[in-house]
Structure 1
Amino acid sequence: MSKLYSYKPKKVLFIATRQIGDVLVTTPLISRARELWPDAEFHFLGYRGKLDMLKGNPDIAEIIETSDRPRLPEYLALFNRLFQRYDLAIVTQPSDRAYLYGLLAAFRRVGVLGGHPQGQTGIDNTDRKAERQNAWKKAICIHTINVDYFKQHVIVEKLRLLEVFYKNAQDLFSKQIVVTPPKEESLTPVIASQLLSPYVVVHPGPLTAYKRWPLSYWQILITWLVSQGWQVVLSASSAKQDLQLNQEILSLLDESTRQKVIDTAGKLSIPQAASLIRGALLYVGVDTSITHLAAACNTKTIALFGPTPPTNFGPWPNGFIGTEPYVLRARTQMNGYVTILQGPGECVPCRKAGCDDHPNSLSECLDLLEPAQVITAIEQALSKA
């Protein structure tokens, strides 16, 4: 397919049918697309309840929500709303449904193609099953990008969807790449009245159990933070397992430490979380979407990583120029305001769902990432101007 340097779409649909973190990492793509097409109208399609990361985004004219499991009436309504209304669809996830939405909505499409890597050593091998599954997606697109779970950052993956519209693809990465957080919303009066400066935001709850850090380690860390004279604000979603996790952590704290901790679990919208994090001295969290949000807010961020390769999904250090801010394996690595910590082991990162490769598995690399390593990283991050 020839390059489309002079292509000027009037209406563009971005499609991200996954989690809130997957929506946030599309924002550099949206910004670059705006630079390419300053007069185009941008819409965004995603799952209901997962699009708060785009609230107040200046480049998005309309947000279209759909269920993650739509029934026939919703499909029909979506069909009528989307059918051939766009010049270009940018499909940012490799799911079949996302591609079908793109096929329905636009005359032209670019998209991300998934794969089925068996591990780091086999990442460069062609997966025949994936090739068969991807054949029809390639056929309906003018340009596609393959996922690389070890050697390509997810933000680079999204930006490369625009390669076909550039004379020199490296121009995509020759200036600062910025993740755009949602427009901030005021905290509720109850929470705002409890905040004392300086405070540290701690977000212990990941989407899946294999990304958890041990409870006793949170106890040690929070006790140390309070001993430094800082208030600690516990953050979490309203999901039952996150609420329970925060309560379990609080139950381990002695009374004097507990008095210096605010639990905001389930009480903040995503834009309110952005407001909270922006005002923080520091953020400490596991491999989850709110950690990416902290980095996007330019707050000093300590990210605890286990099986996930930071080269693929490490929180982007805002303003970084280039294609890879991190190395695959390092006990501690800092770039800009972001510090990523990993546990020991030659298997790190494995990209499996924990050691037993299922959502409720333990991850030994996180069990061996001791609080002392985190405390040292905090001291180093705060000593850096």
Structure 2
Amino acid sequence: MAISILRKLDKYLGNFIILILTPTTSKKPRSEINLNTSKILIIRLWTLGESLLTLPMIKKLKENGYDISVLVTKRSKGVFENVDFVDEIIDLGDFFKIIKKFKKYDVVIDTEPYLNISAILGWFLGKKVVGFKGLFRDKLYDLKIEYIDKTHAVYNFCNMLRPFGIDYKPEKLIPLKYTEKDRENVDKLLKEYSLEDKKLIGIHCGTAETAPWRSWKKEKFAKLIEKLVEDGFYVILTGSKGDYKVNEKVLNLVDDRFNDKVFNFAGKTNLREFAYLLTKFEVFISNDTGPMHLSAAMETKTIGLFGPNLPERFAPFGRGNIAIYKADSLDCSPCINVHKGEFKECKLNGKCMDLIEVEDVYSAIINLVGK
């Protein structure tokens, strides 16, 4: 089913369900949680990127002695399978398991930005629910946290710790774990292409289907690749199987002289292997999408390209990483606000991304790794 149809169903049917459930929800204002609480459920249904951005908050809860469960879908599950501070993972597709957990958790933390379904699930599964205020669904929350629009998402998620008496501002993300077998598979892949001793740069040309106009133009990626190869770097284009064709289109725009130093790795690694592969790069360049956040989490020097979204919210998190944004002059930017569920169709053919020049990205790379 198309994402646009799912959003409409969630909006109209979800609003109706919330109206029905609202009379059963306490109207007393609250600012803190009973500290005898032990069982906490985190709702994190979508996206690789924001799942990674919740991990500092979740780890801090675990360090404070709470039992942590996470409700996921296949889009987010891999993140939580590869950390050691989550006690239970529940798949949204396991309907009967979820039904049996009615009011099972002392507190549910709804980290989803705007969908009604997560608030409804929180009401069903938790005795108390924490979530962001400002949307209709917050009628189902017992504790409502202010979403600060021009604050990084990592800090907004960590603000959800305040009802527990925890004030926390992390300095970096949490890396995903990979196994010795994952390491061996990636090293074997690099050796297959004679890349094991080369200076590597990773580039992610694709982006999520929710807002494809977040992508930098293929022609500019191609020009950047040519400059990097001329400097002696080898370039790996990353992604899932769905990114393979996008990468091939970029490769077809690269001058034939450089083709033996540019490689399409889309679909060649799983999530854990990709996490390890990222550690092999001198620098990683990406559109505003999940792999950018994973690169930052793996402490690889990361450059994120922004236009429809603000870097204040979603820049690659951590000291030394760079977000490039040049759309201040455009009234239409930002046209994405995840917290409000706004994904306006671009009418200017991605002009905000076009404002980023090849030289802007190249200079940022050289500043990070040296020529």
Q: TM-score range by the shorter chain?
A: 0.7 to 0.9
Q: Which residue of 2 aligns with 1:104?
A: 124
Q: Which runs of 5+ in 1 are unaligned?
A: 68-73, 116-129, 318-335
Contact 1:344 1:365 in 2 (8 A): yes
Q: Which residue of 2 aligns with 1:178?
A: 172
Over 3 Å counting, the alpha-carbon distance change for 1:349 and 1:293 in structure 2 is farther
Deviations 1:55-74 (A, max 9, x none): 3211101211124xxxxxx5
What percentage of residue pairs aligned between the two structures are identical?
Answer: 24
Q: Which runs of 5+ in 2 are unaligned?
A: 1-28, 338-342
CA distance in 2, matches of 1:344, 1:136: 36
Over 3 Å counting, the alpha-carbon distance change for 1:2 and 1:216 in structure 2 is closer
**Superposition map of 1:312-351 within 5 A:** 312-317=313-318, 336-347=319-330, 350-351=333-334
Q: Which residue of 1 aligns with 2:355?
A: 368
User: Is 1:226 aligned to residue 220 of structure 2?
Assistant: no
What's the TM-score once normalised by structure 1's chain length? 0.79
Contact 1:25 1:154 in 2 (8 A): yes
User: Is 1:275 aligned to residue 276 of structure 2?
Assistant: yes
In the TM superposition, what is the alpha-carbon distance from 1:295 to its structure 2 partner? 0.9
In the TM superposition, what is the alpha-carbon distance from 1:360 to its structure 2 partner? 8.7
**Superposition map of 1:23-102 within 5 A:** 23-36=51-64, 38=65, 40-67=66-93, 75-80=95-100, 82-93=101-112, 94-102=114-122
Two-structure CA RMSD over aligned residues (Å): 2.4
Q: Which residue of 2 aligns with 1:146?
A: 146
In the TM superposition, what is the alpha-carbon distance from 1:112 to its structure 2 partner? 2.0
Q: Give structure 1 regions of 4+ aligned residues with deviation exceeding 6 angstroms.
A: none
Look up the equivalent residue of 1:25 and give its one-letter code: L
Look up the equivalent residue of 1:51 and give its one-letter code: K
CA distance in 2, matches of 1:298, 1:137: 38
Q: Which residue of 1 aligns with 2:4?
A: none
CA distance in 2, matches of 1:153, 1:109: 23
Over 3 Å counting, the alpha-carbon distance change for 1:268 and 1:359 in structure 2 is farther
In the TM superposition, what is the alpha-carbon distance from 1:288 to its structure 2 partner? 0.4
* Residues matched between the structures, number: 328
Q: Which residue of 2 aligns with 1:328?
A: none
Over 3 Å counting, the alpha-carbon distance change for 1:373 and 1:238 in structure 2 is same
CA distance in 1, matches of 2:327, 2:118: 37
Deviations 1:103-127 (A, max 9, x none): 22221221123x5xxxxxxxxxxxx
Contact 1:291 1:303 in 2 (8 A): yes
SS at the partner of 2:173? coil
What's the TM-score once normalised by structure 2's chain length? 0.81
Q: Which residue of 1 aligns with 2:140?
A: 137
Over 3 Å counting, the alpha-carbon distance change for 1:75 and 1:359 in structure 2 is farther
Look up the equivalent residue of 1:178 and give its one-letter code: K
Over 3 Å counting, the alpha-carbon distance change for 1:49 and 1:311 in structure 2 is closer
CA distance in 2, matches of 1:110, 1:54: 20
CA distance in 2, matches of 1:46, 1:23: 10
Q: Which residue of 2 aligns with 1:292?
A: 293
Over 3 Å counting, the alpha-carbon distance change for 1:34 and 1:364 in structure 2 is same
